[in-house]
Amino acid sequence: MILIITCLYLYFKIVKKTLIKHKRILLPTLKNMYRIRLWPLGIAVIALIFGSCNVEKRSDAEQVAKAMLDRMTLEEKVGQMAQITLDVVGKGDSLFNSYEPFELDTAELREAIVDYHVGSVLNSSNNRARSLAAWNSIVSTIQNVAIAKTRLAIPVLYGIDAVHGANYTAEATLFPQQIGMAATWNDSLVQAIGSITAYETRASGIPWVFSPVLDLGADPRFPRQYEGFGEDPHLCSVLGVALVNGYQGASVSSPLKVAACAKHYLGYSAPSSGKDRTPAQLPNITLKEYHLPPFKAAVEAGVKTFMVNSGVINGLPVHASHYIITELLKEELGFEGVVVSDWNDIENLYRRDRVVATEKEAIGLAVNAGIDMAMIPYRYQDFCNQLVELVREGSVEESRIDDAVMRILKLKAELGLFERPTTVLGDYPKAGSEEFAKVSYQAAGESITLLKNSNGILPLSKDKRYKILVAGPNANSMRTLDGGWSYSWQGEKVEEFAGRYNTIFEAIKSKVPQSEVSYIPGVSYPAYGRYFEEQYDKFEESAAAARKADVIILCLGENSYAEKPGDLNDLYLGSKQLNLAEELAKTGKPIILVLNEGRPRVISPIEPMMAAVVQTYLPGSYGADALADILFGDINPSGRLPYTYPSYPNSTVVYYHKPAEEQKPNIGAYSYESDYNPQYPFGYGLSYTNFEYSQLTVNRSELKQNDTLTISVNVRNTGDRKGKDVVQLYTSDLVATITPDVKRLRKFAKIELAPGEAKTLTFKLVTSELAFVDSNDRLVVEPGEFIVSVGNLSTKFHIVN
């Protein structure tokens, strides 16, 4: 009895603050003490004291997770690994859709959260954006059930695709898609976009975003190219880290920040066919040299979660690859966060890929490979029941379950969900604000890329009275400006939500009210057709109006799409659009071609007929306003291509190709050559001013391993207007044991210069940054001669032993 009294005294004196701070964990334990006899109370309190004496350690997320894990049953652990889509717990006719207006089904919610202990929910219901108020109500109700109705009061982790802003929140700010962010070459701006997205996602009550996409956009056929940062590993790494830092900040426990998700690890964007979720053949040297660096950079930046490639590499689905998920990511790269599957991809192991015969085998294969959380997303009961069976049968070790659940609970603790499972909408007054809108407009303005400007036709004069014909299927559409993942998966609901923004035609008409601006499409997209369907729409009328116009602004490109539905069979721009361009060109009137597309569709048949070419990518809600300001000179374009724009469908070669891709003719009987012939090269973009590079210097001509090379270059604005330039530094390894790339981007900087102003830029390059993956899968830096180039300047240096 003395022991009990002493223990109680010590407990209340030492751990009072800890009890208050961690009441969601400790109070259920204390409550149970009153239900048992007195003699075990002393033992329980002693254990609690030893677990609580070190207050600082107990505040660590890992300690919180471990304390919770130790109290969980196997069924509760497995439930934490289950992620379901919102429609599963909504009132509706089936698992796959819900009634409108959306309401949670109390019975279904209780079954998922209370009976099966489901740890995560994702997505919007009915593939539709919701208001801030609706999101807060949905998430709060789910969390109330998790906290008040379950034994351990573990909060649910809600996740959402927020890939260019909080794109499933009706009032949110939508930015350029990631390919447009990449075209800005402005990492601080990309970080600001991430920060705003985090703010507006948290305003929606959601703490986890499935972004950034770190897949290389090296194949223009791929339907998800617009979701990434382009074809270069370094550009993708730098901007990926910027977006992660914007999302997560210094600490994800801040109610203004969210957990980021690096996806789709690994090699997802390189299927042999160019079509989504089809097999890829990628040797390890290719995976590690090009595809791995952005993900490695994200790990080093502290990204909290990873999502796995939905495809198949070298015959093995990545969701089944212990090497890629566990050995490479978790062990070699040291990733300590949560690995989540992609949508339905564990089931795909047996239904689509046929590497196992049953769903149960698929679950065991994926979990043993290293998947921590399964995006099921519908039949969670089967997943939970079968995973429990697998553990009890010994097919999956409970230690593997413990590792996965520790990672999940730790993330929930890091996000502060145990203390604040929900947010308060009133704490987010800036959501959808003008302040955030200005950042979206700036991003669009810095992304739009001027590719051709014959005879300086651009900018057009704001003061002149023009007769302007605006034509093409993308001229009067918000859907095409925002693209997929905008208010819905395929972007087909954009017009319902985006009426307050300007289309290209509306922005131009507003920009020059004194001019006669008419819109006659010539070609349009069917309202409910697939993305590639197009139809003639006042074709002859458009051609007649062109003959009367002073200038034609022809807006061509793609309708919105996302993922697999965006697969294509022909990289050329749609035939009816090409016909429209040719017909309008017959008038002899100058045509400004505005491209609005998720990937670079081939335009070589019509490009010579165009006086100017402007690439807008998918510029977001304020893209049309930024475009109008570029066309009429209020913004000096500064976007640069984040990919190589091909001239032909069979010439899709990246800039860092091997020497064999561009050979001069051989001498002798067997004379042949290989030409590298892009429409526009990677990193290319014009300005309304001119920049001159001079005085490229290196601080030494010879370097040893682990030395640092300092490179300086002078840049001067020689034009008559202020402008921004992207200074790009490349290196070329002249001889290597693995045939070297012709050049690689190593550093870049975006600068702004007034007319006549000059700046000297200094870059530091560590020799380890010149490493390549050799035939033994090792990163090596070999001695030899290198070229460093900036603009039209170059100089040499050597690495010696």
Catalytic residues: 342
Tokens of 227: 């979701």
CA atoms of 53 and 30, how far apart (whole Å) = 16
Tokens 């009976």 — which residue? Answer: 115
Tokens 């051989």 — which residue? Answer: 666
Sheet of 758-766, strands arranged across:
691-698, 708-717, 758-766
Tokens of 749: 């900087």
Rounded to 5 degrees, what are φ and ψ at 727? -85, 120
CA atoms of 450 and 640, how far apart (whole Å) = 8
AA identity, residue 567 = D
Rounded to 5 degrees, what are φ and ψ at 31? -60, -40
Instruction: Tell which residue, 170, 145, 171, 149, has the closest CA to residue 158.
Output: 145
Tell whether the torsion through CA atoms of 453, 457, 461 and 465 is positive or negative: negative
Q: CA–CA distance from 606 to each of 454, 525, 573, 678 (Å)? A: 14, 20, 10, 15
Tokens 């969601």 — which residue? Answer: 24
Instruction: Tell which residue, 80, 136, 64, has the closest CA to residue 419.
Output: 64
Tokens of 284: 């390890």
CA atoms of 731 and 452, how far apart (whole Å) = 27
CA atoms of 562 and 485, how far apart (whole Å) = 7
Instruction: Provide the 10 A C-beta neighbour count for residue 779.
Output: 11
Tokens of 253: 């426990």
Q: Where are the beta strands (DSSP E) in 161-270?
A: 208-209, 261-265
Q: How far is CA 414 from the centre of its chain?
A: 22
CA atoms of 171 and 430, how far apart (whole Å) = 11
Instruction: Say if residues 751 and 759 touch (Cβ distance below 8 Å).
Output: yes
Instruction: Say if residues 261 and 208 touch (Cβ distance below 8 Å).
Output: yes
Rounded to 5 degrees, what are φ and ψ at 650? -100, 15
Instruction: Tell which residue, 109, 312, 294, has the closest CA to residue 218.
Output: 294
Residue 726 pairs in a beta bridge with: 750
Q: CA–CA distance from 136 to each of 143, 418, 424 (Å)? A: 10, 17, 8
SS3 652: coil
AA identity, residue 795 = T
Tokens of 181: 């962010």
Instruction: Say if residues 732 and 683 touch (Cβ distance below 8 Å).
Output: no
Tokens 């270059």 — which residue? Answer: 713
Instruction: Say if residues 61 and 23 touch (Cβ distance below 8 Å).
Output: no
Residue 552 pairs in a beta bridge with: 469, 591
Instruction: Say if residues 383 and 373 touch (Cβ distance below 8 Å).
Output: no
Q: CA–CA distance from 290 to each of 238, 541, 657 (Å)? A: 14, 49, 12
Sheet of 208-209, strands arranged across:
208-209, 157-160, 120-122, 82-85, 374-375
CA atoms of 88 and 375, how far apart (whole Å) = 13
Instruction: Tell which residue, 407, 416, 401, 412, has the closest CA to residue 367.
Output: 401
Q: CA–CA distance from 798 to each of 369, 696, 714, 784 (Å)? A: 43, 16, 23, 6
Residue 210 pairs in a beta bridge with: none
